[in-house]
Amino acid sequence: MNFSDELRQRLNVCVKSEWCSRVLQRLAESRSIQCATDEAKLRHLFAAFLCSDMNVVGSGGLPAGLQDMHMAILQGRHVVQMDEAVNVAASAKERFDDGRGVS
């Protein structure tokens, strides 16, 4: 079974196949899941994905030409990792304050 393809088809989670292989190898070494079902392996992969940095494990999953889809609604599930959040309602001084009272 191609686990990266299965994750993409079932959950729209796009990961590198090399990452799947590494995770399954580590699981096999630590938990002896060689005999586990493919469904159990997929659950383990998804759990590992939820704790991973998508910049490292992800293979990109948004539609091609997304930048041209202004105000379009994407159908289905899509996973997005937020690296930073900014309170746009705050003043510029508050937004760039590092939290220690020094800006």
**Other Cβ atoms closer than 10 A to 23:** 20
Residue 62 has pLDDT above 80, yes or no: no
In the three-class reduction of DSSP (H, G, I as helix; E, B as strand; rest coil), residue 55 is classed as: helix
Lowest mean pLDDT segment, chosen from 11-15, 70-74, 78-82 = 78-82
Q: Which neighbouring-strand residues pair with 48?
A: none
pLDDT digits (tens, 9 = 90+) for 36-58: 789 989 999 999 999 999 889 98
The confidence score (pLDDT) of residue 103 equals: 45
* pTM of the full structure: 0.69
Residue 70 has pLDDT above 60, yes or no: yes
In the three-class reduction of DSSP (H, G, I as helix; E, B as strand; rest coil), residue 15 is classed as: strand
- Tokens 């041209």 sit at which residue? 68
